[in-house]
Chains A and B, each alone.
Chain A
């Protein structure tokens, strides 16, 4: 019966994250997983599979989540760890997605963020691209776009080896 009775913010975040983890594990969504690191419960790694029917089909992407002490009232900091060629993601993996910025709300959680990101892969927001070239190719040259996606992508094993 190990008990914790500390009541600071960090504990609340930890409790919330533990609950989210439990939810994800109890009702897993196909193609999406996430798990905290063993050292720090507020740093997670997530894996999403590219949706079928998109240039990202059959590709696997790793992301990192970093939860602030004010989570869920502030959004987590989410980055693509796997290099990705996408209009709304820059080369360091930063993501331009409204719900991770000003549209964040405490009702979102890891699962919904991951689902949003998965759908962003198939439906980029080309009106405000971080990667202008990608936005252009998406609209005009899907073949070249796919080639660039494939060229940029690395599997998790390649990432580990690097």
Chain B
């Protein structure tokens, strides 16, 4: 123990001297007296060497620590205690010389350890509060960058402040120490040297960084960092729709600036020990979010215009946008591998693909509705389907969308059909083999089957002509599906009969998807109409077809029936020829009728009948519909030209039930009918005609005093009614206009009251008739003379009424007609039900009717209530209040 130390120690009892306090040998303590020596002051006893050593160490310790002790202020840049020789010696003694050895052997706390501790304490006391203050409040998203940068600045300052003494005063000795060892071990100097020194240094750094990172709330820190990374990504790639809702009005900053800023920040954070796991986790989260944002960004919007797939663009971004960014960040965070392998890149691309796919699937229903502008989205999905599990996801998700958005009471059948057609087309693009379509369409088909009007709409739509879509004869009541019509208008590609599976030359052959059932066989004909026609089993579909085709043929204007023939051929291909016999007969009937008409007309021509063209149906067993032209001239100086008659001859056995109102047709017409009948019988042998007057169509010319008007497409009852205003053969021709009442007309024509009223309303609407008093009408001979506003008003009202009524009158029997017709049966059903099954509510009755009545009960509660009311009137049932009804006792 040198003198100076001794003196110093005797005067200043520095704390480190307590290290010399004797302790048992077994305790690895700072200093001790040797066994056998007495306890006492360092100056006592014979263990001078030991004591000297301990005391010297203590003095050195004291000197060194006082020197290395940190000033309060981190920003203190002034001179620290000047480094004297003493200090140098002390440091050298503690770090290199014997002091070091003793220390490392027996103490927990070497000088390096002490210094580390000192740094920790200092940091906790002086630096941490400012950090805590910074992080105490919630950090708004806009301030994340600043907070992080500020944090980094504080820590960076602290770090350099702490490191400076370490580097300057401890490191050189460590080097020296290391080189001593090296010499002794005669090993590769540099390696060992740097290895040991770096070890010490990095331990120090690690400890310091641990202190740093523990001073920050780690969750919030990584969230903040995550956000910064995310924000940087968004700016880099210029995403405007972001998951965090921040709306940046970006100053036109260049991508380079952003990149440099984030790189700098990351490097700095890494330097102060805030990189590492925490930052990597934050990075992972932000990259995850970034991919999602990209999927939702304008870059990957469905391509509505070019209708192209955006998947290549996405792959490209992952490869050339996302990957470099990831590599940059990895590099800044000094991760082990900064290179993104191509396999990993593939994984990323797939991951992005699956996210894109899910995003598209979520909106699939909308894409379907907007088919085919949404082709791009469907093509994206096609890519997506290549991924594992994608099909199942698409199926379940789409089924859910369909059942929520399509298959409910609010959707009209036409709408559902339109969507279904879009689905067929879109899914055909999505997966040409049709397996996917089959499984997603199943619920829709099932639902469509249960709708009553589906078949009617489909067939009616098949028959309309898209070309005259704009013409007035198309009912605009949403009962027609133009998609079907336009599909029908497409040229029918004759599918070749060879089986695709055996076409060895088909280079585009693809195996069936793995989820196809073993029996799955792709239908050969795959156009939309095929799917619609196969909704039902054949018989019921054909029944419906018969009804609609019947009504249509009677109305049809085309003398060649080209569309109808084509339709029938199409359906024959799909449903088989044998079942469509009735339809063929119907078609042949109308074609045949033309021939017979010609024959009869040419025969009749000889009897000097003037001919006009029109048509009528009827049947061997007899029904006919006729139309004629007639001039109805109440007061006219010219003899009217004779009417002409064409008939349609229908084979009643094959036709659906048609309207068959009975009434008198004008005498001229019935004469023609008789004549026609006799000629027909001559041609067709024994067959009898039965005229169905309600179904005809007529064209007439009315010659009135001041005008001549032509009317086309008139129903026969309308003609009969106006004809009744001509003087009848048994009446005196008078100069006064003839007036007739509804009752008179009914009696004269033996026509149904409703029809008479409808016809009269029609003529009033045309300003041909006028109501003079209640239910009495006269012909308006002179439009100008009766030109008063009341009349024209009445005419307008009547016209409207007539239009409404006309819409309700159809060749096929209407619902109301049907109800009326079967009223008795229905009523006895209700009586039988209530008698035998006890009292019931209306709803239950309706349900039972639907279940029990053969052929179905196509009515709703309304009609049941009407029936019940009538039964109540005839005292068969009584209402028990509420909806419950009982049999009258």
Write the residues of chain A forming the contact surface with B, with a CB cutoff of 8 angstroms.
1-3, 5, 18-19, 21-22, 24-26, 28, 33-38, 41, 44-47, 62, 160
- Is the pair B837, A3 in contact by a Cβ cutoff of 8 Å? no
Least distance between B17 CB and chain A CB atoms (Å): 105
Question: Contacts A1-B544, A21-B852, A22-B854 given: A38-B836 contact, CB under 8 Å?
Answer: no
Considering only CB atoms, which chain B residue lies closest to A1 in the complex? B540
Q: Report the minimum CB–CB distance from A156 to chain B (whole Å).
A: 8
Question: Judging by beta carbons under 8 Å apart, are A25 and B836 in contact?
Answer: no
The interface residues of chain B lying within 8 Å CB-to-CB of A33 are 831-832, 835-836
| Cα(A5)–Cα(B449), bound, Å | 14
In chain B, residues 645-666, which have Cβ atoms closer than 8 Å to a Cβ of chain A?
none
Instruction: Compute how far the CA of A25 lies from the CA of B847 in the bound complex, rounded to whole angstroms.
Output: 17
Q: List 5 A-B contacts (CB under 8 A).
A: A1-B455, A21-B852, A22-B825, A25-B825, A35-B832
Known: A22-B853, A25-B825. A1 touches B832 (CB 8 A): no
Task: Check B828 against A28 for contact (C-beta < 8 Å).
Answer: yes
9 more A-B residue pairs beyond the given contacts A18-B852, A24-B832, A35-B832, with a C-beta to C-beta distance below 8 A: A1-B541, A2-B449, A21-B854, A26-B828, A33-B831, A34-B836, A35-B833, A46-B836, A47-B836
Q: Give the residues in chain A near B836, CB-CB below 8 Å.
A: 33-35, 44-47, 62
Knowing A1-B540, A160-B838, the reply to whether A34 touches B454 (Cβ < 8 A) is no
State the Cβ distance, A128 to closest chain B Cβ, in Å. Answer: 30
The answer, yes or no, to whether B519 is at the interface (CB within 8 Å) is no
CA of A24 to CA of B848 in the docked complex: distance in angstroms?
16
- Cβ contacts under 8 Å, A38 to chain B: 837, 844, 847-848, 851
The list of the 7 closest CB pairs from A to B, nearest first, reads A45-B836, A35-B836, A22-B854, A33-B832, A35-B832, A25-B828, A33-B835
CA distance A2 to B449 in the complex (A): 7
The count of chain B contact residues (Cβ–Cβ below 8 Å) is 28
Tell me if B299 counts as interface (CB < 8 A to partner A): no
Interface residue? B239 (CB, 8 A): no
Q: Chain A contacts of B848 at CB under 8 A?
A: 38
Cβ distance B421 to chain A, nearest Cβ, rounded Å: 19
Tally of contacts, chain A with chain B, CB under 8 A: 63
Give the residues in chain B near A34, CB-CB below 8 Å.
832, 836
Determine the chain A residues whose CB is within 8 A of the CB of B540 once the complex forms.
1, 3
| Distance of A25 Cα from B832 Cα, bound (Å) | 8
Q: Do B829 and A25 touch across chains, with their CB atoms under 8 A apart?
A: yes
Q: For residue A11, give the distance in angstroms from its CB to the closest CB of chain B.
A: 14
What residue in chain B is nearest A5 (Cβ atoms)?
A: B537
Note all chain B residues with C-beta closer than 8 A to A22: 825, 853-854
Tell me the B836-874 residues at the A interface (CB within 8 Å).
836-838, 844, 847-848, 851-854, 856
Q: Please, how many angstroms separate the alpha-carbon atoms of A64 and B536 in the complex?
A: 38
CA distance A133 to B612 in the complex (A): 86
Q: Which residues of A contact B833 (CB under 8 A)?
A: 35
The residues of B with any CB-CB pair to A shorter than 8 Å are 449-450, 452, 454-455, 536-537, 540-541, 544, 825, 828-829, 831-833, 835-838, 844, 847-848, 851-854, 856
Tell me, rounded to whole Å, the shortest Cβ–Cβ distance linking B820 to chain A. 16
Do residues A26 and B837 form an inter-chain contact, with CB atoms below 8 A? no
Contacts of B851 in A (CB 8 A): 38, 41
Give A143 to B825 CA distance when docked, in angstroms. Answer: 41
- Min distance, Cβ A12 to any Cβ of chain B, angstroms: 14
Question: Which residues does chain A contribute within 8 Å of B847, judged by CB atoms?
Answer: 38
A1 adjacent to B825 (CB under 8 Å) = no
Q: Are A1 and B454 within 8 A (Cβ)?
A: yes
A138–B537 Cα distance when bound, in Å, is: 60
Closest CB-CB distance, B165 to chain A, in whole Å? 93
Rounded to whole Å, the gap between the CB of B455 and the closest CB of chain A is 6
**Chain B residues within an 8 Å CB radius of A25:** 825, 828-829, 832
Q: How far apart are the CA atoms of A7 and B825 in the complex, in Å? A: 28
Chain A residues with CB under 8 A of B449: 1-3
Cβ distance B454 to chain A, nearest Cβ, rounded Å:
7
C-alpha gap A24/B832 in the complex (Å)? 9
* B827 and chain A: residue at smallest CB distance: A25
Q: Which residues of B contact A26 (CB under 8 A)?
A: 825, 828
**A35, B848: Cα distance in complex, Å:** 10
Check if A45 sits within 8 Å of B837, measured CB to CB: yes
Chain B residues with CB under 8 Å of A2's CB are 449-450, 856
Residues of A within 8 A of B854 (CB): 18-19, 21-22
User: What separation, in Å, do the CA atoms of A160 and B848 have in the docked complex?
Assistant: 21
Between B833, B835, B837, B851, the greatest number of chain A beta carbons within 10 A of the residue's beta carbon is seen for: B835
* A1 partner residues in chain B, CB cutoff 8 A: 449, 452, 454-455, 536, 540-541, 544
Please report the C-alpha to C-alpha distance between residue A153 and residue B831 in the assembled complex, in whole angstroms.
Answer: 23
CB distance from A66 to the nearest CB of B (A): 14
Which of B452, B536, B544, B836 has the most chain A CB atoms closer than 10 A to its own CB?
A: B836
Which residue of chain A has the shortest Cβ distance to B851 in the bound complex? A38
Contacts of B838 in A (CB 8 A): 160
User: A22 CA to B856 CA in the complex, in Å?
Assistant: 11
The answer to whether B844 and A3 have CB atoms under 8 Å apart is: no
Residues of B within 8 A of A24 (CB): 828, 832
- Given A25-B825, A26-B825, A36-B852, A3–B835 Cβ distance below 8 Å? no
Shortest C-beta distance, B812 to chain A (Å), equals 16
CB-defined contacts of B852 to chain A, threshold 8 Å: 18, 21, 35-36, 41
Q: How far is the CB of A154 from chain B (nearest CB, A)?
A: 15
Name the distance in Å between B157's Cβ and chain A's nearest Cβ.
83
Give CA–CA (A62, B887) in the complex, Å.
14
Q: Return chain B residues, CB-CB under 8 Å to A3.
A: 449, 536-537, 540
Closest chain B CB from A31 CB (angstroms) = 11
Closest A residue to B889 by beta carbon equals A157
Interface centre among A1, A22, A28, A44 (most CB of B within 10 A): A1
Kindly state the separation between the CA atoms of A38 and B831 in the bound complex, as whole angstroms: 15
Could you tell me the distance between the alpha carbons of A31 and B206 in the complex, rounded to whole angstroms? 106
Per the bound structure, the CA–CA distance linking A1 and B856 in Å amounts to: 9
In Å, the complex CA distance between A44 and B844 comes to: 17
Residues of B close to A41: CB separation below 8 A: 851-852
CA gap between A28 and B450 in the complex, in Å: 32
A35 to B829, CA, bound (A): 8
Residues in A with CB closer than 8 Å to B832 are: 24-25, 28, 33-35
A34 to B835, CA, bound (A): 8
How far is A26 from B827 in the complex, measured between Cα atoms in Å? 10
Q: Chain B nearest CB: distance from A10 CB in Å?
A: 15
How long is the Cα–Cα vector from A17 to B753 in the complex, in angstroms?
A: 40
Q: Which residue of B lies closest to A46 (CB)?
A: B836
Report the minimal beta-carbon distance from A42 to chain B, rounded to whole angstroms.
13
Please, how many angstroms separate the alpha-carbon atoms of A34 and B836 in the complex? 6
Instruction: Find chain B residues with CB under 8 A from A37 CB.
Output: 837
Within the assembled complex, what's the spacing in Å between the Cα atoms of A71 and B853? Answer: 20
Q: Which residues of A contact B452 (CB under 8 A)?
A: 1
Q: Which of A19, A25, A34, A44 has the most CB of B within 10 A?
A: A25
What is the CA–CA distance of A26 and B823 in the complex, to the nearest angstrom? 10
Give the distance in Å from the alpha carbon of A137 to the alpha carbon of B788 in the complex: 89
Question: Within the complex, what minimum Cβ distance (angstroms) separates A110 from chain B?
Answer: 11
Q: Which chain B residues border A28 with CB–CB below 8 Å?
A: 828, 832
Within the complex, the shortest CB–CB distance from B172 to chain A, in Å, comes to 98
B125 CB → nearest A CB, Å: 85
Alpha-carbon distance A41/B837, docked complex (angstroms): 13
Residue of A nearest to B834 (CB): A35
* B446 smallest CB distance to A (angstroms): 11
Q: Report B754 CB to chain A, min CB distance, Å.
A: 26
Contacts of A44 in B (CB 8 A): 836
